[in-house]
Structure 1
Amino acid sequence: MNKILKVRNVGDYSRWVGHTDRHPLVSVIDYAEVSPIRHSLNNYSIYGIFFHDEAEIDLAYGCGKYDYKKGTVICVAPGQIGGKEDNGERVMLTGWALLFHPDLLHGAPLEKAIKNYSFFDYRVNEALHMTDEEHGILTSLMRQIRDELRKRHDELQDSIIVGYIELVLNFCQRFYNRQFITRKLDNSDMLMKFDRLLHDYFDGNMQLAHGLPTVQYCADKLCMSSNYFGDMIKKTTGDTASNYIRQYIIQRAKNELATGESIARVAYGLGFEYPQHLSRMFKKQTGMTPSDYYESLRKK
């Protein structure tokens, strides 16, 4: 049985690493002050943003091991499990952790907006690798939040801290956007794999048994979380992953219709339950119905 540390609140993790909190709902930990620490496999009921500077730790997640190197950010959300099981080993870490309970956001705009930060659902092997400048920005924000927590609590403190957290999240989003751009080459390689995956799916007649391919299916096959995959495709192509799949399907439908195949046969052959579902998608993607398209070919 795995030894799992249940992190129901910030104090559960703080006690594990030997840090004393000043606020029941938020904690900023400077790892240099609490090291060495033991590993822990954590079941989170809170949000966490972790970055370690130079830890040689390999964490097992998703489709493989992840090497935790200098300037890496990992974000976790309630309901997730992450870390490394305690094996008695003690490790020296430098870096920071920012932990906060969902209750801290109660009534703040961020309570609803936090779901828009899709990187909370990225896998660990899709972590953010910071530049030195980005690392400096996040370190500076961690220090500012810690300094605020050391002040006497007043009626504005929670709002100020939530403001800082939002700033941290926006910087993380900016850094991820930069990472998607700097990894354009990797992304175009992934786009080719995506195309090949769709090609193989239909050539192997998988649509007849499983219906149309989904974003989740493609992400799983490419060893990515659906959020990271979706964000990567959007940054690389300017289009959503689901729309990319639809365009691929419509292109195949056009090829079939051009051979004189009936709309019903094309629809069933592509994995649609009913021909009208193909017609609806076709009209939405191209502005014309399949029969209009067929007629336009005949006029050429």
Structure 2
Amino acid sequence: MNTIRSISQFHKLVSLPEPLHPLVSVIDLAKITYTQSEIWKGFVNRFYCVALKHDVKGKLKYGHQYYDYDKGILSFTAPNQVQYLDLQNIECGNGWLLIFHPDFLLRHNLANAIHQYGFFSYTVNEALHLSAEEEQDLLMVLHNIERECKHIDKHTQEIIISQIELLLNYPQRFYERQFITRKNNNHHLLEKFEQLLNDHYNSPAEKPQGLLTVQNIAGLMNISPNYLSDL
């Protein structure tokens, strides 16, 4: 499996100059041009990605399934998630991408706390949709991080990490709002969940796989385990 190990390597792969900071970068998607590299046919990143996007056309593949890359407006990926990108049918569109390496969080509480943000395991078709006001809140934080990357001193890490924490706390609120406003759709998901349980335990057929797990059920429902748990 191909590996994108550094922020600098990623910049080169999307035809951007060297990042202002070696461990964190805020990227204007309109300035991206993907290089024709074999790496996109199957790769993992060694860093976190938060994408705030508009009009992005193309397909991104997780595991064995393709997802529309233009669904939703805010999406998250964690390090070491396997991805496949179809360069034949992609347009970068407009928006912003925050990428930061786990090493940037060392000796900070966020290094451990970041695993509590379940949306880093949400698949792209479960991306977060934002209101105009919510989007402006996130853009303000992204621009603060971008500006701080230009001033690397002993305060830089603490200031940027505080902004990253704020950026991650906003989606916690926004996802709760999305779950509420999509109550009817989520109700159908829960009905499907109950039906799968009933079918499993009421079926006379032998069940070699044993007890159903959240991972099993989420796979049958075509959603991620974390998204199912948060419902």
Distance 1:189 1:180, change over 3 A: same
Letter in 1 for 2:147: D
Q: In structure 2, do the counterparts of structure 1 residues 223 and 163 end up closer, same or farther at CA, with 3 Å as the change threshold?
A: same
- Which residue does the alignment assign to 1:154? 153
SS at match of 2:194: helix
What is the letter of the counterpart of residue 61 of structure 1? Y
Q: Between the two proteins, what is the percent identity of the paired residues?
A: 38
What is the aligned partner in structure 2 of residue 178 from structure 1? 177
* Conservation of the 8 A alpha-carbon contact between 1:51 and 1:71: no
- Asked if 2 retains the 8 angstrom alpha-carbon contact of 1:201 and 1:207, the reply is no
Q: Deviations over 1:76-128 (max 9, x none)?
A: 111112251434x6734211111111010001110110010011111121111
- The whole-number CA distance in structure 2 between the counterparts of 1:38 and 1:133 is 34
Residue 112 of structure 2 aligns to a residue in which SS?
A: helix
The equivalent of 1:48 in structure 2 is 49
Q: Is residue 5–residue 45 contact of structure 2 (8 Å, CA) maintained in 1?
A: yes
- Preserved CA contact (<8 Å) 1:22 1:149: yes
Please tell me whether residue 18 in structure 1 is matched to residue 15 in structure 2: yes
Letter in 2 for 1:47: Y
How do 1:1-300 and structure 2 match up within 5 A? 6-20=3-17, 21-32=19-30, 34-37=31-34, 40-41=40-41, 42-61=43-62, 64-69=65-70, 72-87=73-88, 91-151=91-151, 153-205=152-204, 208-232=207-231
Give 3-state SS (helix, strand or coil) of 2:159's partner. helix
CA contact (8 A) 2:7 2:24 kept: yes
Distance, in Å, in 1 between the alignment partners of 2:60 and 2:163 is 29
Checking the alignment, whether the CA contact within 8 Å between 2:78 and 2:121 is kept in structure 1 is yes
Q: Is the 8 A contact 1:54 1:71 kept in 2?
A: no
TM-score for the superposition, normalised by structure 2: 0.88
Superposed CA RMSD in Å reads: 2.2
- How far apart are residue 64 of structure 1 and its match? 4.7
- Aligned mates of 1:17, 1:63 — CA distance in 2: 24
* 1-structure distance, mates of 2:44, 2:209: 33
Measured in 2, the distance between the counterparts of 1:70 and 1:121 equals: 16
**Residue segments in structure 2 that go unaligned for 5+ positions in a row:** none
Aligned length, in residue pairs: 226
More helix by share: 1
Q: Secondary structure at the match of 1:129?
A: coil
Between the aligned partners of 2:83 and 2:90, the Cα distance in structure 1 is 18
TM, length-normalised to structure 1: 0.69
Partner Cα distance (1:230, 1:63) in 2: 22
| CA displacement at 1:206 relative to structure 2 | 5.3
Give the CA deviation at 1:38: 5.0
- 1:24-52 deviation digits (Å, cap 9, x = unpaired): 110110122x2444584541111111122
1:176 offset after TM fit, Å?
1.2
Name the amino acid aligned to 2:177: R
Gaps of 5+ in 1: 233-300
Whichever of the two has the greater Rg, that structure is 1
Deviation at 1:58, TM superposition (A): 3.1
CA distance in 1, matches of 2:53, 2:140: 14
